[in-house]
Structure 1
Amino acid sequence: MSSSRPRRTAVPVRAAAVAGAVAVLLAGATACGASAEDDSDPEHRTFPVAGGTLTVDSDDSTLEIIAADSNAAGKVEVTRWFQGSVVVGSDPKVTWSMTGDRLKLRVKCSGMVANCAAKHRIEVPRGITVKVEEGDGSVRARGFEDPLEISTGDGSVDVTDSTGPLTVRTGDGSIHADVTSREIRAQTGDGSVDLALGAVPDLVDSRTGDGSVTIALPAATYRVTTQTGDGSVNVSVPRAESSAHVVNARTGDGKVTVRTAN
């Protein structure tokens, strides 16, 4: 009489070891993210800028943009920090180039275990109108007397010490501005808007889909329009429909505060 036993399929030791190593690498990659601040030897480069405008075109980087007196006329100075690794995939790569008035910054980092972070500081000579197009990353800007326009798909925006017209848009992120600009437009799909004005503005237009709006203004009389889908409204500045100083504050869900600056 014969008997049959189920056959056992052994997992090759080498395959199991590789699988285990990949699992460890994946766990390590998710536990600790790359930080551009860890780059102790940043790269520097100077680019010529044609005319009186500059467009910063970045796909995935933290940006710091400064209006600088020390720069030579027609020259933009860029400092780059980068940290990155790819375990399974192509080596990470960062590139920078200038074509006409467009400074193009790119980060290539893809694979099964990819972990990269980049930061750029861009020093722009005064007298240049700057437009920032950021795909994914926060933007900080300061010192601008000329028009400044910033848009980012995902990331916060912080602007300080600026007097020129300011336009800010972000799909997802907070907006903060502490400026003396006479004209400000700020819009975010999801995030708070916090504006502090050091001079009486002609126009402040602020909107958010989800988040609070706070506007602090110098003492003056304003024509104020507010709107919120779900939240309180507190306007404590003097108001008059005939005022030439227009303030619009709108949110889909959140509190609206328009007050006199301390």
Structure 2
Amino acid sequence: MSVRTVRIHRPVAVLGAALAAVVLLSGCGASAGDDDDPEKRSFPLQGRTLTIDSDDSALDVVAADVDEVRVTRWFEGSTVLGEDPEVTWAMDGDTLQLRVNCDGFVSACSARHRIEVPREAGVRVLNKDGEVTAEGLRTAVRIRSDDGRVTVKDTSGPLELRAADGAVDVVDVDSRRIDARSDDGRVRLGLRTVPDRVEAHSEDGAVSVDLPDGAYKVAASSGDGSVDVGVKRDDSSTHIVNVRSEDGGVEVN
């Protein structure tokens, strides 16, 4: 396994308890967008599917004309009380591991990674804290975010998307099979191609599905909200759309 660790050292200073309290209460945070000199690294991909295992980082996953996995990292971090922040990246087989350690008593860290993957590679993302965006992928994509929005654009492979706490947005896709679910957030799907099967569910949020012209076998319901189905319905259709919100409106148009 190839591992690189970056340590960000804070200036040596004597800070009183009063100053630490001010910093703590001020709510000042770090922003990865302030990093004007991002680091870059390439990793070989062993296998046909890349797994991205990340925590505490926003992720942008894009298809590119590359033979390896190329990663660009933006990071800003500081601590007043506690250990210096650490940010690491490593490839273990077909799994890219991205970690941010920011455990100081008074600390602020922000990370963002852009991950370019070979066009023929499948992608699986497990992100514990941070939004995930995927774009331009032509193979199967599976994404789970425990805390953050999931956005997918311009894809054509099967999609399996989960957000435990955040919205799910699918924009201008040709994917023929989509399974999108949020435990706490809206689900919004926009398709350019008539799909074979769509599953769209939210426990707490509105659900909307925008479909191309066609006839669909639709099951749409809401535990607490309005239901509007504007597409042509045909119970014998092989194009199946199941939409459900436990608490929110439902639209299929």
State whether structure 2 residue 188 is matched by structure 1 residue 190: no
Task: Number of aligned residue pairs: give it.
Answer: 238
Within the candidate set 169, 191, 199, 2:193 is matched to 199
Cα distance in 2, alignment partners of residues 24 and 193 from structure 1? 39
Runs of 4+ in 1 over 4 A off after TM superposition: none
Which residue matches 1:214? 208
Give the drift of 1:19.
2.5
The one-letter code sitting in structure 2 at the alignment partner of 1:168 is L
Give the drift of 1:24.
2.2
Give the secondary-structure state (helix, strand or coil) at the position aligned to 1:105. strand
Which residue matches 1:36? 32
Q: How does 1:136-151 map to 2 (within 5 A)?
A: 136-151=129-144
Which residue matches 2:22? 24
Superposed CA deviations along residues 38-97 of structure 1, whole A, max 9, x for unmatched, are 00000000000002111000011000000112x1x2x10000000001110000000000
Within the candidate set 229, 240, 250, 2:244 is matched to 250
Give the drift of 1:226.
1.1
State whether structure 2 residue 70 is matched by structure 1 residue 77: yes
Q: Percent identity?
A: 51
Cα distance in 1, alignment partners of residues 29 and 216 from structure 2? 47
The one-letter code sitting in structure 2 at the alignment partner of 1:207 is H
RMSD (CA atoms)? 0.9
Cα distance in 2, alignment partners of residues 174 and 51 from structure 1? 31
The one-letter code sitting in structure 1 at the alignment partner of 2:211 is L
Within the candidate set 134, 143, 160, 1:167 is matched to 160
5+ residue gaps, structure 1: 1-16
Within the candidate set 115, 120, 145, 1:122 is matched to 115
Superposed CA deviations along residues 8-43 of structure 1, whole A, max 9, x for unmatched, are xxxxxxxxx823222222234x1x211100000000
5+ residue gaps, structure 2: 1-14
TM-score for the superposition, normalised by structure 1: 0.89
Cα distance in 1, alignment partners of residues 39 and 101 from structure 2? 17
Within the candidate set 129, 151, 158, 2:151 is matched to 158
